[in-house]
Amino acid sequence: MEKVKKRIIEYLSVLKLKHNMKAPILCLVGPPGVGKTSLGKSIAKALGRKYVRMALGGMRDEAEIRGHRKTYIGAMPGKIIQSIKKAGTSNPVFVLDEIDKVGNDHRGDPSSALLEVLDPEQNNAFSDHFVELDYDLSNIMFIATANSLSSIQPALLDRMEIIEVNGYTIEEKTEIAKKHLIPKQKEQHGLKAKDIVLKPAIIENIIENYTRESGVRALEKTIGSLVRGAATKIAMEVAYNPTFTPEDVVTTLGAPYYDKDFYEGNDVAGVITGLAWTQVGGDILFIEASLSPGKGKMTLTGNLGDVMKESAVIAMAYIRAHAHILGIDYRVIDQWDLHIHVPAGATPKDGPSAGITMLSALVSAFTQRQVKPKLAMTGEITLRGKVLPVGGIKEKILAAKRANIKDIILSKANEKDIKEINEDYIKDLNFHYVTNMLEVIDLALLQNKVKNAVDIVYRDESAKK
């Protein structure tokens, strides 16, 4: 929450010095359940202003923003003017929820109507079709929320100040549960503080085994299930232990829903650990490459998207062009088929972050050099072998830490993202910053015991002929 707090303090500072200002248009972007809407309510409380919320999800009618013309039957002002009238003030904190889910059809485009509302240079004379008078919206502090920026109209996006609200770490979720979620659930279910005690170790167990999300919505539901279990025993006057143990959690919630991400060990050449960003946070994935006698054909499996398939093609092209530098015999490339697989096969996977992992797996398979233990990597490559930066670094790093990985290879350009992460979360990790693929190969792969890699594939003289 550092960026959000800093921005609000800046706003209050200017307000104190100038006594009035055009309110900023903030857009909080992040995955579901991280508290974007709740942040709007907290900002209103901190500023001492009225709180107004307007849900934009599924809105298709432009008149809901601008109002109806009086010639229509049942005409009424737009939601902006209606909300201000209900609030009874001209300077509330106005939350525009789910701005990325605004639709459009024959009734108009609400996102285009919002351009005037969210432009500080125009909204001092907002025109509502029903009111037919200009209304000053410049004193309102608009806060928009969105899960993704990709579906927001570019002109609308240009008018807002983007603040990313990332997913929470396990430590942060534990604190949120202790300070907010558990007391809230106890109050909602009529329990006293002593009726149920969840220690930090139990909360971490619930987070890792029963939830998989960036926010805390599922965590709150799970804690609610435990609280209801205790409430049932109290209501039925059954003796129970208020301090929950792992066995009590399994009894109440059932077997764990999710397996914790564990590093499996790269004992076989051609298996590399990669880092991926998902809608529910970071995850680790394994990329496997194996060789078999054939004619140089490459097969890709694992329900891969177009971007990951292209990464594999680029990696193969780089290996063909630099085989002599990498110590790969051309005969291995031309006379052996290559199979690349990314488990689990039923899960769709895509995104520009597996390039260096793909290339490292291929080089490992062709040279039979094993990967160094407890190492993972993320980054994209070019045909020249340059390592490009990728996004979702915080989530990926936390996934690596959960999986007990110690060394992480990243693009040099991603170093700035690491500096933004709290040092306490990454103190046990070693980061290796690279600019080209040869550095990645030197860092990731162990030196081979045999002098020539081709000797492993062509084991006898007849195979060489």
Q: Measured between alpha carbons, how far is 385 from 436 in angstroms, rounded to an integer?
A: 5
Element (H, E) at 206: helix 200-210
Q: Quick check: 449 pLDDT over 50?
A: no
Q: How far apart are CA 212 and CA 353, in angstroms?
A: 21
Pure H helices in 107-197: 110-117, 154-158, 170-176, 182-188
In a domain, 260, yes or no: no
Last residue of a domain, one of 97, 130, 164: 164
* H or E segment to which residue 39 belongs: helix 36-47
Q: Which of 135, 164, 193 is the last residue of a domain?
A: 164
Q: Give mean pLDDT, residues 4-24.
A: 79
Same domain, 63 and 137: yes
Distance CA 12, CA 385 (A): 48
Domain of 30 in residue numbering reads as 2-164
Residue 154 has pLDDT above 80, yes or no: yes
pLDDT digits (tens, 9 = 90+) for 50-59: 999 988 887 7
Instruction: Output the domain CATH number for residue 17.
Output: 3.40.50.300
Of the listed 173, 396, 401, 411, which one is catalytic? 396
Shared-domain flag, residues 246 and 287 = no
Proportion of the chain above pLDDT 70, given as a percent:
92
Q: Domain containing 197 — which CATH number?
A: 1.10.8.60
Per mean pLDDT, which range of 301-315, 429-443, 447-461 is the poorest?
Answer: 447-461
- Give the Å distances, CA to CA, from 357 to 192, 205, 300: 52, 31, 14
Q: What is the pLDDT of residue 399?
A: 81
Tell me, yes or no, whether 11 lies in a domain: yes
Q: pTM value?
A: 0.75
Number of domains the chain contains: 3
**DSSP conformation class of 432:** E
Assess whether 208 and 322 both reside in one domain.
no
* Token pair for 31: 């995955």
Residues 363-399: tens digit of each pLDDT: 999 988 888 888 999 999 998 889 999 888 888 888 8
Q: Is 396 a catalytic residue?
A: yes
- Shared domain for 232 and 279, answered yes or no, is no
**What are 160-207's pLDDT values in tens digits?**
888 888 778 778 889 999 999 999 999 999 888 888 889 989 998 898
Looking at 353, 360, 364, 411, which residue is catalytic? 353
Q: Is 292 a catalytic residue?
A: no
Cβ-Cβ contacts under 8 Å for 434 (sequence gap 6 or more): 356, 379, 387, 409, 410, 411, 412, 440, 443
| HEC assignment per residue over 273-301 | EEEEEECCEEEEEEEEEEEEECCCCEEEE
Which pLDDT tens digit goes with each residue over 87-104? 888 888 999 998 888 877
CATH of the domain at 368: 3.30.230.10
**Residue 411, pLDDT score:** 92
Q: Mind listing the pLDDT tens digit for each residue in 309-366?
A: 899 999 999 998 888 888 888 888 888 899 999 887 767 778 788 889 999 999 999 9
Distance, CA of 161 to CA of 17 (rounded, Å): 22
239 lies in some domain? yes
Last residue of a domain, one of 121, 141, 164: 164
Confidence class for position 453, pLDDT limits 50, 70, 90: very low
